[in-house]
Chains A and B, each alone.
Chain A
Amino acid sequence: MDFGNILSLALGEIVTPTTAAYALAALGLAVHFGYSGLLNFGQAGFMAVGAYGFAISTLTFKVPFVVGFLIALLCAVIFGLLLGVPTLRLRADYLAIVTIAAAEIIRYIVTTNTLFRVTGSADGLSSFQREFDSFNPFPAGTYIFGWSNREFYVRVVSWVIVILCAVIVWLLMRSPWGRVLKGIREDENAVRSLGKNVYAYKMQALVIGGILGALAGLLFTLPRGSVQPANYATELTFFLWTVLLLGGMSTVLGPIVGAMIFWVVLSLTQNVLAGLIESGAITFLSIVQAGQLRFILVGVALMLLMVFRPQGVFGNKKELAFA
């Protein structure tokens, strides 16, 4: 077993565009749940809306990249409003139910064969990233970890977006606007009694977190050059919640570091198990089973985390004392 290789593979995971996408989507969940108390179990839906919004407008309507990008964000805003209007006046649980259902609806719609010409059905869509690639300023060659210039380019773009969004969220949450959101998380009637329009604030938070989700959807698909419905199933949402809980809910760094830890651990367990199987140390597992086992390990790790460090890596222990 080549530990050096396993380790460098794991470290490589820290900066992949997928990790960036998870970080950004989990940051959206932090805005929803960590700061505003909104239970969104459909973040995968927001990601799908962003990814398909971009892919469909680029392929079917042949719009330029920037327009497609804006359409993707606009779709997320509309999706957020659609979910928020009927539910945000009700108790928190209603939003949870509606979001989980809406995310599934999105996935079923893009999978139906009737819409094959637009959505590509189960095959999804591809080849919508050419214009994005044409912006690549880096000349061909190898960079840092032996990345090609495209690999380097998508990483730079992904992490610049993540850092930009993190800074914006941080600025928003330390502002009086963020204070109202945190107040709503604690007790919305008390905030109402002080003259704040709770419904409007919740809607703004839902839409902002949703936009982050849609951006994450773009970061997830652009480097791959393809978007498939299977990538946006409910388990994606739950991985994002895992990431959020890992890092700490009401923090900006939490979701980002949480995403890094999540992918490093997944990569380590996968490669260590594969190495053990190949070397014959483990005989009762196949490589495929090992791939499944690591998700079981993720679940176990999450349980241990909740028991021993429930506030997450960056969470504030003091806050939790009053949960």
Chain B
Amino acid sequence: MTTADDNIDYMTDSRAIAVGENLPGCKKRDPIVVADNVTRNFGGISAVDVEHLEIPRHKITALIGPNGAGKTTLFNLLTGFDTPNSGAWTFEGNNIAGVSSYKVARMGMVRTFQLTKVMGKLTVMENMRLGAANQPGERLSRALFKNIWGGREREITKQADGLLEKFKLDAKKDDYAASLSGGQRKLLEMARSLMVRPKLVMLDEPMAGVNPALTQSLLDHIKNLKAEGMTVLFVEHDMNMVRHIADWVVVMAEGRIVAEGPPGEVMKDPAVIDAYLGAHHDVDLGDAQGIRELEAELEADEESIVGTEDAGIIAPEVVEARLEEEEGK
């Protein structure tokens, strides 16, 4: 890193993210993760087949794609929780293919799980403390001597208190994590991953099940992670969230990267619309008018889920509400 970079405010940094055109697999000005030819097959189906992918440093990148696109599998591969059939990737220039998951985490690449993992029979506070790095008391040889690890424990507790407050879990501090609701567990898992003070935090559907009012404040919190010099990669199905905080969007479908670019641009990309909707190409997912047209077209189409309860992220109400809000500003 050059000295000039140190003076950059990452919140307002508007230099181009990609070098050259925003094509799938394009080179980045300053990548933190670079992956090449990563493939993973599950008995015939190719769950992940990524030719080239670079994650930009100090940016928030969204990884989107329909169900079964291979997003979670890619997370598992990159963080050492699964073994690829082929491929190599680097984190901050170090080759980490085949490195065990805990070492990857120690290097500063920390992930959360789509199926939330909290330690149920530990309190919320103990869950948080477990996340902290550099606690000498975690070594067997020092564990008996509280005078060695007590000081660090106090620092950790202070850090945890701060995070719990931001994630609105401070009142639950002394409860067992098993007593938390689904959304609260998501929050705890995310807060816990931040205890590690990662360089890159990878969140698998962090907002699934979190109520909208809290989502807003958490989105701001995620944005602020950038100011602290962190890089964020997250998987999300909620397009509003993606537009709201992502600097860059990577779209996966059937294991491949099909599009990349800034959110506004990607949502107009025919390849993306194709991936999500199949045949209905001529529509802009980021445009209220386009959505309304699509709704009319799809409601007439019997195979489509639009107009039914399953519409999810492409439900017109969802997209329109957000768009109108933006127009109003």
> Which of A183, A193, A196 meets B113, CB within 8 Å?
A193
Q: A177-B138, A193-B111 are in contact. Are A172 and B143 (CB under 8 A)?
A: yes
Contact B140 A190 (CB under 8 A): no
Question: Which of B122-130, B159-167, B291-299 contacts its partner?
Answer: B122-130
- Chain A 5-19 residues near chain B, CB threshold 8 A: none
Contact B117 A195 (CB under 8 A): no
> Which of B112, B133, B137, B142 meets A193, CB within 8 Å?
B112
Contact B117 A189 (CB under 8 A): yes
Within the complex, the shortest CB–CB distance from A302 to chain B, in Å, comes to 23
Within the complex, the shortest CB–CB distance from B17 to chain A, in Å, comes to 27
> Which of A171, A193, A322 meets B176, CB within 8 Å?
A322
> Which of B126, B143, B193 meets A194, CB within 8 Å?
B193
Check: B153 CB closer than 8 A to any chain A CB.
yes
Within the complex, the shortest CB–CB distance from A164 to chain B, in Å, comes to 12
Q: A195-B102, A195-B105 are in contact. Are A176 and B135 (CB under 8 A)?
A: yes
When distances are taken between beta carbons in the complex, the residues of chain A under 8 Å from B129 are 176, 179
Docked CA distance A182–B126 (Å): 10
> Which of A175, A193, A197 meets B149, CB within 8 Å?
A175
Most buried by A among B106, B130, B146: B130
Within the complex, the shortest CB–CB distance from A188 to chain B, in Å, comes to 9
When distances are taken between beta carbons in the complex, the residues of chain A under 8 Å from B126 are 179, 182
Contact B176 A176 (CB under 8 A): no
Docked CA distance A189–B130 (Å): 13
> Which of A177, A187, A250 meets B143, CB within 8 Å?
A177
Check: A318 CB closer than 8 A to any chain B CB.
yes
Contact B176 A194 (CB under 8 A): no
Docked CA distance A180–B126 (Å): 10
Docked CA distance A180–B132 (Å): 11
Contact A191 B130 (CB under 8 A): yes
Contact B144 A171 (CB under 8 A): yes
Size bracket, chain B contacts: 35 or more
Q: Quick one: closest B residue to A173, CB to CB?
A: B143
Check: B77 CB closer than 8 A to any chain A CB.
no
Within the complex, the shortest CB–CB distance from A31 to chain B, in Å, comes to 12
Within the complex, the shortest CB–CB distance from B77 to chain A, in Å, comes to 14
Within the complex, the shortest CB–CB distance from B124 to chain A, in Å, comes to 13
Contact B179 A322 (CB under 8 A): yes
Q: Quick one: closest B residue to A171, CB to CB?
A: B144
Q: Quick one: closest B residue to A174, CB to CB?
A: B146
Check: B196 CB closer than 8 A to any chain A CB.
yes
Contact A196 B138 (CB under 8 A): yes
When distances are taken between beta carbons in the complex, the residues of chain A under 8 Å from B119 are 182-183, 186-187, 190-191
Check: B319 CB closer than 8 A to any chain A CB.
no
> Which of B138, B144, B176, B189 meets A168, CB within 8 Å?
B144
When distances are taken between beta carbons in the complex, the residues of chain B under 8 Å from A176 are 129, 135, 137-138, 143, 149, 153
B87-131 CB contact bits vs A (8 Å, 1 = yes)?
A: 000000000000001110110001111000111111000110111
Within the complex, the shortest CB–CB distance from B203 to chain A, in Å, comes to 12
Contact B118 A190 (CB under 8 A): yes
Check: B321 CB closer than 8 A to any chain A CB.
no
Q: Quick one: closest A residue to B149, CB to CB?
A: A176
Check: B313 CB closer than 8 A to any chain A CB.
no
Docked CA distance A197–B127 (Å): 17
Contact A189 B118 (CB under 8 A): no
Check: B178 CB closer than 8 A to any chain A CB.
yes
Within the complex, the shortest CB–CB distance from A281 to chain B, in Å, comes to 48
Check: B276 CB closer than 8 A to any chain A CB.
no
Check: A319 CB closer than 8 A to any chain B CB.
yes
Check: A234 CB closer than 8 A to any chain B CB.
no
- Chain B 219-251 residues near chain A, CB threshold 8 A: none
Docked CA distance A18–B12 (Å): 72
A-B contact list, 17 entries, CB within 8 Å? A171-B144, A172-B143, A176-B143, A177-B143, A178-B143, A179-B122, A183-B127, A186-B120, A189-B117, A190-B117, A190-B118, A193-B101, A193-B111, A194-B195, A195-B133, A322-B120, A322-B176
4 closest cross-chain pairs (CB), A and B: A322-B178, A186-B119, A176-B137, A177-B143
Binding site for A on B (CB under 8 A): 79, 81, 101-103, 105-106, 110-113, 117-122, 126-127, 129-131, 133, 135, 137-140, 142-144, 146, 149, 153, 176, 178-179, 189, 192-193, 195-196
Given contacts A179-B129, A183-B127, A322-B121, 8 further A-B contacts (CB under 8 A): A177-B137, A183-B130, A186-B121, A190-B118, A192-B102, A193-B81, A193-B105, A195-B102
